[in-house]
């Protein structure tokens, strides 16, 4: 079971990233929904309607005895968008592995 922690909406340039480089898709509006699960996982649903794309970013955390989350891994995107890192940090997640 997951809990929606926060939704953010922005309009920014979007790039599709590949191991060989990135391709600009122009500026688009989008929404990110951060969810924490009841275990040591979570996810971000990143919806970009004008590109007809939804990216699901899986998140794995180490959780210390005080409940502090540290991001240990992610999947679904080549690199975490800066807005996703800011969103995680806003909710107390240490994101050192993502930068």
- Print the domain residue range for 74: 2-98
State the Cα–Cα distance between residues 30 and 8, nearest whole angstrom.
8
22: enclosing H helix or E strand: strand 21-37
Q: Is 54 helix (H, G, I), strand (E, B) or coil?
A: strand
State the Cα–Cα distance between residues 99 and 97, nearest whole angstrom.
6
pLDDT in tens, 81-99: 999 999 999 999 999 987 6
pLDDT in tens, 32-67: 999 999 999 999 999 999 999 999 999 999 999 999
- Please give the tally of structural domains in the chain: 1
48: enclosing H helix or E strand: strand 41-48
pTM: 0.90
């Amino acid at each position: 079971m997951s809990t929606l922690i926060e939704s953010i909406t922005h309009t920014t340039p979007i790039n599709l990233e590949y191991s060989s480089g990135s391709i600009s898709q122009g500026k688009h509006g989008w929404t990110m929904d951060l969810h924490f699960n009841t275990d040591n996982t979570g996810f971000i649903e990143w919806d970009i309607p004008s590109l007809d794309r939804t990216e699901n970013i899986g998140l794995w955390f180490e959780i210390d005895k005080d409940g502090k989350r540290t991001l240990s891994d992610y999947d679904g995107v080549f690199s975490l968008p800066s807005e996703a890192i800011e969103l995680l940090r806003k909710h107390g997640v240490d994101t050192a592995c993502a930068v």
